[in-house]
């Protein structure tokens, strides 16, 4: 799985686009904190993904589980709104570029299912949870920088 231009653009734009309608005050606070550093944060995340995809996967899922623990201290409706915001970002990123002629590939569906599970199964959509999930997959795009 490779992060192309469409996915990168979505990761930079969608958090702000979706925060306004998320109903989560935490999403707005987090966005305000990270917005000035978004380009640097994206570069860090892309480098981490390129160098150790399996490790990156574990860190992302671990961060989701830690967020769930922290969210236990806020009202349930706020926690749910925040979780839905995170999943909505994931879906927008997955939809940002077609792979093999489909809007959301099986690998992306599996990754979204894993995120949903780590967040406590709050997904509005059902995703098939294939065995590959977010694990490293060799990119077939010869022009891609992840090779």
Tens digit of each residue's pLDDT (9 = 90 or more) over 42-77 = 888 888 888 898 888 899 999 999 999 999 999 999
Tokens of 88: 């909505």
Look over the chain and give the mean of its residue pLDDT values, rounded to a whole number: 79
Residue 99 half-sphere exposure, CB side, CA atoms within 13 Å?
20
Which of 48, 10, 14 lies closest to 31, judged by CA?
A: 14
Q: Could you tell me how far CA 96 lies from the centroid of its own chain?
A: 12
Whole-structure pTM value: 0.74
């Amino acid at each position: 799985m490779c992060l192309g231009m469409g996915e990168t653009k979505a990761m930079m734009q969608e958090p702000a686009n979706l925060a306004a309608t998320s109903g989560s005050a935490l999403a707005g606070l987090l966005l305000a904190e990270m917005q000035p550093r978004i380009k640097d944060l994206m570069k860090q995340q892309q480098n981490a993904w390129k160098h150790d995809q399996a490790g990156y996967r574990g860190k992302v899922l671990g961060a989701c589980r830690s967020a769930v623990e922290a969210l236990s201290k806020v009202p349930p409706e706020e926690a749910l709104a925040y979780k839905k915001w995170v999943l909505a970002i994931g879906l927008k990123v997955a939809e940002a570029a077609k792979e093999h002629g489909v809007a959301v590939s099986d690998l992306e569906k599996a990754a979204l299912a894993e995120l949903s599970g780590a967040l406590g199964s709050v997904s509005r959509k059902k995703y098939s949870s294939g065995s590959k999930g977010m694990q490293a997959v060799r990119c077939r795009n010869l022009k891609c920088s992840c090779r």
